Each structure stands twice: as structure tokens, then as C-alpha cells.
Chain A
Amino acid sequence: MSPFHDIIDSLDPVRIRTNTRNITAGQVKALLEAIRAGTVPNPEDISILVSPAAGELLEPMARLAKAVTLRRFGRTIQMYAPLYVSNHCSNSCVYCGFNVHNQIVRRTSSRGETLSEARLINNQHISQLLLVSGESPAEVSLDLLETTARDLKGMFPSLSIEVYPMDTSDYTRLYKAGIDGLAIYQETYDRDIYSAVHPAGPKRDYAYRLGAPERGAAAGFRQIGIGSLLGLNDWRVESYCLAHHAAYLMKHHWKSQVSISFPRLRPAAGGYSPEFPVSDRELVQMVCAFRLMLPDAGLVLSTREPAELRDNLIGLGITKMSAGSKTAPGGYLDRLGNNLDRLDNNLDEQGQPAEGQFNVCDDRTVEAVAESIRQKGYDTVWKDWDSGFEKQNENQRQNIKIKNGK
């Protein structure tokens, strides 16, 4: 069992909530001043940054978050896209469109279909790909993921996965196959809520999931993405646990870069409505709080969020965004229409497209998002690493040539 497990078990949500509510404006101002003077906050300080009192000081917080982001990341935003391999799932997460009980069109892309989709994504300049799948090892086996990674690593300098949790040995196989990043969100750190929203299926095992980021780091992944699904629990309590989780990973797995995502519950099949909705203002406060807390961490925002909000968060702490995303297997082929494989791909026998995991809110193309980033005075970073640099992929890029400049 993960040693972080003991830490999380020692946290008392009621005490965290009370502490956060009792924070005063004076404490917030003092902390912001200290950060301005160069202090890096400790994980306990997250209570101050996500407090209602800090919410009243959002403008100065945002200014400081912007300055910290600029110093560490410059005027750049990294871009990635997800590729859904399958929407088969044995879990029953009440908030998710892939819930086993939902009567939706299910499919798993064939190797050829995944390659076709990958090419379409790659043609839009995307170099960082996130492979996503529901939890169905029968449909999406480790072997399939391994094969997919080997198929795609020549096309994408960086490949990550967001799939079911695994043992270290399985993660090691994927790392060796060319996967360099792992995203796995605990959804909620609150055990009771976790049990309630995951009534059946392998995902009920809270502890196994909680230990996954550490197992991934032990396997060698360079990037470890964690997060809470916003809307399942009080976001302030989740932020506290998430900050401690990040701090723990950074201390104990110091060679992996930790990034934080802010997935906010969106309408999905099954019609779940979040019990603890998070407002735009609260989401912005959370992003700024994490930027100030973890000045070097990547902060990720997906197309779950609307275009306008995403554009406004450029530079305010967010450093990585997805674009042009489709959240169903075969989704890219369907969207780009004129593809001859279309009928064989995203549609079932009755001609229905496979269901997405959630409704994409920012449905702009990759180019349109890149243009918005430019308009904001930022540069898009497409590539930030090359798996060809790693030992296991040594022979992957032998015939490359780059011309010298002008």
C-alpha cells in the first residue's frame, strides 16, 4: 500500500473545511506578500489560497499567479489532444458517460482505425497525444496498449495514457513501449464519496487507484498527471488533498514532473448533475491557488471548458491545453467526414456513432485554438520532448534531417 495512503487517511475533511473557512483576509495578504518576495508555500498553505477569504482577493491572486507563470513558463502554452481507443467499460461511475449501465453505442477501435485517427490528429500539428480508454482490459488489454504505443511513437514525440490503473510491471512495459506520461485522477479523495459514486466495478478499489501515480513514477514515466473531478466534493477540501498528493509525489518521485488537471463535470450520458458544482470564479481561484502553491507544475485544462474561459485562463496559470478533441472512439474520423473508412469506423451496425465520455464544450479546431493563443500574445509549444531520446526508442528516428535556418 502506498505510504501516501496513511497521509490521506490522517486528513480530516471536517477540520480542513473549518480551517479553510476561518482563514482571514490578513492571512491571505501575508501569504501573497511572502510569495511575491520569493517564498514557495508549503502544502498546508493551500488552505489559505483556496479559502473564501482568498476568493475575495482573487484579482491580486490572479496577478501574482500570472507573474509566477510567466517567470517559469514564459509566454507559451503546450498543446495536446486525446485519442479514445475504446468506450467499453466495466465500471459504473455515476458521473461518466461510459458507465457500464448506460445504453450507449460501444466500440473499440481496431489497430488500423487508431492509426487513421492518429494520422488525422498528427496532421493538425499535434505532437503530444493522450491515449484514453474505459476500464475494460478484455477490450483494451495491456498488449493492445503496448502495440498501439509502438505503432504511434514514431508519429508522436510524446505519448501519454489515461486508462485503468495498473501494477508497476505493466506500467514498465508501457514505458518501454514508448509511453512517457501517465494521467490518472483520483476523482475524489473523500473515501465515502468515492464509494458512493463508484458503486461497482474494479474502480471501487480506492487504494489501488491512489497508488497508481507512484507506481507509474516508479516505472519511469516522465510526466505524472493527477486531479480531482470537480463537482463530486467540496473543491476546497479536494484542493487540500490534491496539493498534498502533488507535494508527496514531487518529494518522493523527484524525477517525474507532476501536473495538475482541473476536470469540471460536464453533462454526459446518464444525466448526472454534480452535487458540489464549481463556479467559474471558483475554478479560476483553484487554478491560481495551484500555480502559487506549485510554481513549476504543469496545469492542464481540457476542452470540457468553454472557449472563452479557456482563452481567459491563458497565462493565468494554465500551461497546457487540449484542442480539437473528440471523446469517442472513432470520433475524429466521424468529424472529418470525407474519410472513406467512416462507415467502418465510428458507426455501429445501425449507423449510430459511438458515445463520447463527456460533451466537449470548446469545439474549436486545433488551428483556431492556436490562433487564440497567438492573439493572447503566447506561442504554442507543440513538442516538448522526444521519446526517441530515450534508450528503448534509440532506433526509432534514424533518418531525420533538419535544414539549417535562412
Chain B
Amino acid sequence: MLKPLVIAGRAIRSRLFLGTGKFSSSAVMARALEASGAEIVTVALRRVEFDNPQDDVIAHIDQRKYLLLPNTSGARDAEEAVRIAKLARAASGWNWLKLEVTPEPNYLLPDPVETLKAAEILIKEGFIVLPYINADPVLAKRLQEAGCAAVMPLGSPIGSGRGIKTADQIRIIIQQATVPVVVDAGLGLPSHLCQAFELGADAVLVNTAVAAAQDPVQMAGSFKLAVEASLAGLEAGPMSEGEAASASSPLTGFLR
């Protein structure tokens, strides 16, 4: 039996997290969210209209059903990330945070130095911090020591849909992890999700793969199925690789 997913003491019913950017409308986003079965939903704070109580994206997320995981995307350094987080908490009470420090606006790769700095400050401030990181096992350890509730290594650059190009590093992160590992970014296909779970990931986060699909709602549903299939397969106890090809004349047959 797989262990239930618990982050910061909260049991999370779905191992699929969904991002809310890039959709053709908030209505489509809301339907995709429903179809995905996700419980944790991330929202870019830079796009939230804090002055508008009817902010379109927020208004479409039923916070009794979903746990909002606001992110600090666009922050260029720790200071900006901390300020975004505090501003959002003051405005809304949100305490969970997907920490993103992405000074490079093109590939949106995370800055490890500033991410660690921001995590240390935010954890002291009482935030539940889930940092988006490159697949760097030592950084992942440092962030766990700092008190992060999970780590979110990337499979490949955000929005690339290239799948898990960092498998070897992610495997080490998972092997050494004391907190849940959520594979984030670069996942494009249902099979990429399966691969993440087969590596041992606790959860996955997708956004572009759903939002940029021809039918986002159907794609969200297919990801839900991929997660279910992966987890059911793991529970069923997969055969070990290579069994079918074992040598017919044992090399150690001489040992009587």
C-alpha cells in the first residue's frame, strides 16, 4: 500500500496538482480543474488583481474544495519573493506558498541561491513553503533542513513539455528525501506523469500540458487517469525488470 500523501500535516487526496495559467478562460480552467480531480491548485500571484474582489481566476476556484497554493513566479530575488508572499497573505490569508524565484525570464529556471534564502525567511515567518527547484539533490537537502514542507524539482524547463530529462537527479532527491517530492514543470504527456511516479515521486504538478492541449478538460481527465493507473500499478507490485531474460543455465549452478 502506498503511504497517503501528507504535506505539512495535511492529508492530500490527489497526487495531481494543477496550475491555472495559460487557459483560454477562467471557465475552461475551472472545468479542467474539476476533471483533474486535483486538490492543490497553484495561482501566480503576479496575475492576481488584489484591488479587485472579483478577481477572475480566484473567483473561479472554490476554496472549500481546493487548497490554493499561490506562487511567487516573476520574483527576481529572495527579497521580491518574500514581499509577494507577505502581500498575498495580508490580502487573503493564504499561508501555503509555492516558492518560485526565476530571475531569468526566458527558461524561467529557478535561482538556487535566492530560493534557499527566501525559504529560510518565509519559514521563519510561518509560511508553509514548497520550493520550485532545479533537480539538485544537495539543494533539496538544504531546503529540507530549512524546514520546507516539500520540494518541487523540475523535469525539464517550464512549459517545454519535454518530459523528465532530470530522472537521475530526481531519483537521488527522492531516495534522500525526508519530505514529499513533487515533480513540477516540463511534463507534457500522461506517460510523463507515469514516469514520475515510477521514479518514486509523491505527486506531480502540471499546467501547460493541460492548458495548451486542444481539449484542456479532456487532457485534465486523462492526467487523472494516468495518476490512478500509475498508483494502482505501483500498488499491484510490479515485476522486477529483466526477470524474463534470466540466464537459463545459472552461472552459480555449480554451488551445491
Does A400 have its Cβ within 8 Å of any Cβ on chain B?
yes
The answer to whether B159 and A72 touch across the interface, beta carbons within 8 angstroms, is: yes
Q: B50, B105, B160, B212: which contacts A386 (Cβ < 8 A)? A: B50
The answer to whether B25 and A374 touch across the interface, beta carbons within 8 angstroms, is: yes
User: In the complex, A61 Cα to B26 Cα: how many Å?
Assistant: 30
Inter-chain contacts of B161 with A (CB < 8 A) = 71
The answer to whether B26 and A405 touch across the interface, beta carbons within 8 angstroms, is: no
The answer to whether B92 and A75 touch across the interface, beta carbons within 8 angstroms, is: no
B residues 59-95 touching A (CB-CB < 8 Å): 59-64, 74-76, 79-80, 83-84, 87, 90-93
B91 to chain A minimum Cβ distance, whole angstroms, is 5
Chain A minimum-CB-distance residue to B48: A402
Does A164 have its Cβ within 8 Å of any Cβ on chain B?
no
A159 to chain B minimum Cβ distance, whole angstroms, is 15
Inter-chain contacts of B253 with A (CB < 8 A) = none
User: In the complex, A255 Cα to B104 Cα: how many Å?
Assistant: 5
Inter-chain contacts of B171 with A (CB < 8 A) = none
Does A359 have its Cβ within 8 Å of any Cβ on chain B?
no
Main SS at interface, chain A: loop
B20 to chain A minimum Cβ distance, whole angstroms, is 10
Interface footprint category on A:
35 or more
Max chain B Cβ within 10 angstroms of own Cβ: one of A255, A256, A382: A255
Interface digits, B40-51 against A, CB 8 Å rule (1 contact, 0 not)? 000001111111
User: In the complex, A402 Cα to B107 Cα: how many Å?
Assistant: 31
The answer to whether A400 and B91 touch across the interface, beta carbons within 8 angstroms, is: yes
From A201-209, A325-333, A389-397, give the one contacting chain B. A389-397
Does B22 have its Cβ within 8 Å of any Cβ on chain A?
yes
User: In the complex, A404 Cα to B59 Cα: how many Å?
Assistant: 7
B110 to chain A minimum Cβ distance, whole angstroms, is 14
The answer to whether A74 and B21 touch across the interface, beta carbons within 8 angstroms, is: yes
User: In the complex, A249 Cα to B162 Cα: how many Å?
Assistant: 27
B108 to chain A minimum Cβ distance, whole angstroms, is 8
B207 to chain A minimum Cβ distance, whole angstroms, is 8
Inter-chain contacts of B61 with A (CB < 8 A) = 405-406
The answer to whether A378 and B24 touch across the interface, beta carbons within 8 angstroms, is: yes
Does B125 have its Cβ within 8 Å of any Cβ on chain A?
no
A residues 16-41 touching B (CB-CB < 8 Å): 38
The answer to whether A389 and B87 touch across the interface, beta carbons within 8 angstroms, is: yes
Interface digits, A288-328 against B, CB 8 Å rule (1 contact, 0 not)? 00000000110000000000000000000000000000000
User: In the complex, A405 Cα to B25 Cα: how many Å?
Assistant: 16
The answer to whether A402 and B208 touch across the interface, beta carbons within 8 angstroms, is: no
Inter-chain contacts of B91 with A (CB < 8 A) = 400-402
B209 to chain A minimum Cβ distance, whole angstroms, is 10
B61 to chain A minimum Cβ distance, whole angstroms, is 5
Does A13 have its Cβ within 8 Å of any Cβ on chain B?
no
The answer to whether A405 and B60 touch across the interface, beta carbons within 8 angstroms, is: yes
Chain B minimum-CB-distance residue to A154: B51
A377 to chain B minimum Cβ distance, whole angstroms, is 5
A residues 350-378 touching B (CB-CB < 8 Å): 374, 377-378
Does A92 have its Cβ within 8 Å of any Cβ on chain B?
no
Inter-chain contacts of B107 with A (CB < 8 A) = 296
The answer to whether B105 and A255 touch across the interface, beta carbons within 8 angstroms, is: yes
Does B174 have its Cβ within 8 Å of any Cβ on chain A?
no
Does A139 have its Cβ within 8 Å of any Cβ on chain B?
no
Inter-chain contacts of A255 with B (CB < 8 A) = 76, 103-105
Inter-chain contacts of B62 with A (CB < 8 A) = 405-406
Does B53 have its Cβ within 8 Å of any Cβ on chain A?
yes
The answer to whether B46 and A74 touch across the interface, beta carbons within 8 angstroms, is: no
Does A133 have its Cβ within 8 Å of any Cβ on chain B?
no
Chain B minimum-CB-distance residue to A127: B49
Q: Answer whether A389 and B59 are a contact pair too, CB < 8 Å, given A379-B25, A402-B53, A402-B91.
A: no
The answer to whether B26 and A379 touch across the interface, beta carbons within 8 angstroms, is: yes
A residues 75-118 touching B (CB-CB < 8 Å): 75-76
Chain A minimum-CB-distance residue to B75: A389
Does A385 have its Cβ within 8 Å of any Cβ on chain B?
yes
User: In the complex, A38 Cα to B186 Cα: how many Å?
Assistant: 13
The answer to whether A71 and B212 touch across the interface, beta carbons within 8 angstroms, is: yes
Inter-chain contacts of B59 with A (CB < 8 A) = 405-406
The answer to whether B83 and A391 touch across the interface, beta carbons within 8 angstroms, is: yes
B55 to chain A minimum Cβ distance, whole angstroms, is 6
Chain A minimum-CB-distance residue to B214: A70
The answer to whether A74 and B83 touch across the interface, beta carbons within 8 angstroms, is: no
User: In the complex, A406 Cα to B83 Cα: how many Å?
Assistant: 27
Inter-chain contacts of A394 with B (CB < 8 A) = 83
Inter-chain contacts of B7 with A (CB < 8 A) = none
Q: A382, A390, A391: which contacts B49 (Cβ < 8 A)? A: A382
Chain B minimum-CB-distance residue to A73: B22
Does A257 have its Cβ within 8 Å of any Cβ on chain B?
yes
A106 to chain B minimum Cβ distance, whole angstroms, is 35
The answer to whether A404 and B63 touch across the interface, beta carbons within 8 angstroms, is: yes
Q: Which 7 A-B pairs have the closest CB atoms?
A: A74-B22, A257-B105, A75-B24, A296-B106, A400-B50, A403-B53, A402-B91
Task: Write 6 A-B pairs (CB below 8 A) sorted by A numbering.
Answer: A72-B159, A76-B21, A386-B87, A389-B84, A402-B49, A405-B59
A75-B23, A402-B91 known, 5 other contacts, Cβ within 8 Å = A255-B103, A257-B105, A383-B47, A402-B53, A402-B92
Give the B-binding residues of A (Cβ under 8 A). 38, 70-76, 127, 222, 250, 254-257, 296-297, 374, 377-379, 381-386, 388-391, 394, 397-398, 400-406
Give the A-binding residues of B (Cβ under 8 A). 21-26, 45-55, 58-64, 74-76, 79-80, 83-84, 87, 90-93, 103-107, 159-162, 208, 211-212
